[in-house]
Amino acid sequence: MQTARSCFINGQWVVPDKPTSFMVTNSATGAPWLEVPLAGVAEAEIACKAARTAFAGWSTLDPSVRAGYLGRIADELEARQAEIAAAVSREVGMPLKLSERIQVAAPILAWRRLAKTSADYQWTETIGNSLVERVAAGVAICITPWNYPLHQITGKVAPALLAGCTVVLKPSEVAPSAAILLAEAIEAAQLPAGVFNMVIGAGADVGAALVASPEADVISFTGSTAVGRQIGAQALSAVKRVTLELGGKSASVLLPGADVAVAVKSTVGSCFLNSGQTCSALTRFIVPAAQQEEVLTLISEAVQRITVGDPLDPNSRMGPLVSDDQRERVRRYIRKGIESGARLVCGGAEPVGNAAGYFVAPTVFADVDPASDIAQEEIFGPVLCVIPYRDIDEAVTIANGTPFGLAGAVWGLDDASSLSVARRIRAGQVDINGGPFNLDAPFGGFGMSGVGRENGRFGLDDFLEYRSLQQPQRKG
């Protein structure tokens, strides 16, 4: 079993003073494969001070220079691409072919595209007698989850660095390898000492210490809504800027006349991608009541084609969940669904695959009550709720009928009618007839799904402050 390095502070790898050991498991077998000596509050404080010291120099560099560093980091990540993909598949459970493309190649592309954004970004403008500048907000604390580790880190760290902020990253200890390899890439790219720092530790102590640090100016958190509310309250009480990317319970709305087969294929793919461990997954399929049985037949056929197995096996199309705790959480929700009276179409709470791994079968419920727990709460597992509706107004009401508003999809006879329904859905991102994910478009949610936006130039906004320099008005 390997032992990981968990602290990168002020340009150097640091051994925690009083580490506690955390065992990262292989999600397909349940066996420990990586021991992580977790950092403590002391390392969190040192990292914040290092970031503060480095801020003056980094924030005053020309943005083009900072963009050059982003490009070098992308090069170093690309050199580690295969290693990152294998580690993420082992830890999180996404099949390797998908990890290579989604978990690694897409984030690397995001680093490169953001670097190019710098040239066209309006860092300064003149308004009357004022020179208006956009300047770095300060020391940024970036706290990220385990489900898309490199992607979630990239969505925070890359724009923070380009904006001129210095960073302290606290990735999830459950799936730390991508963050560790990123720190190695940043070290190889020769980023100035203290500009990027990483501490891997438990959220209850290290995460709380970072949010509370007097050196922290910006808090960017992705994770559960419950923890996000706590972090948001703590940050705002200290008048710190805060961005929260939280949960979702996204709806896929099938309109009459739409291509049912295409809608089913895309919705099933979204719901079961990464074993359902996706905040923006389409987990509620809202369909015309008269077409529910047709939809269920196609869904059942699609699910039968999903091979559940070891994510490193090239034949696997869906892997395990990240941990035993996550598996048990999902199984509890499946039992809740059965108890609520929803019709179990396929799957269920019984063990599947390797008994030692964290597998759950792709599960589909029909005739789901929109007010039931499985239709209202984020399960974060491979569970699809099919909900029938009578008319378009009811479909929109159901789609908007949860506290969340992260993502959604609309499938219709034509793009124009689909667009009109999509505009009625209270969500930060709505796909229309299969519109693909756009790395340059803003990503974030309404309601309990969070505050702020990530991706592209929009991701810079939460790491920048406006400054107005009022100049004398000259006569003549």
Q: Which are the catalytic amino acids?
A: 245
CB 117 within 8 Å of CB 457: yes
* Residue 199 · residue 206 · CB < 8 Å: yes
Residues in the chain: 476
Which residue matches tokens 């009928």? 401
Taking alpha carbons only, the member of 446, 469, 438 closest to residue 113 is 438
Report the largest interatomic distance among the alpha carbons of the chain, rounded to a whole angstrom. 83
- Give SS3 for 246: coil
Edge-to-edge strands, sheet with 124-127: 124-127, 130-136, 464-470
What contacts 24+ positions apart, CB below 8 Å, involve 127-131? 127/468, 129/470, 129/471, 129/472, 129/473, 130/468, 130/469, 130/470, 130/471, 131/468, 131/469, 131/471
Task: Tell me the H-state helices in 369-447.
Answer: 373-376, 392-399, 415-422
Distances (CA, A) of 284 to 137, 381, 431, 436: 38, 13, 14, 19
Task: Please tell me what DSSP assigns to residue 403.
Answer: S
DSSP-derived 3-state class of residue 338: helix
User: Shortest CA distance to 219 belongs to which of 204, 200, 205, 238?
Assistant: 238
The contacts of residue 188 (CB under 8 Å, 6+ apart) are 76
Please name which of 186, 5, 151, 177 lies closest in space to residue 91, comparing C-alpha atoms. 177
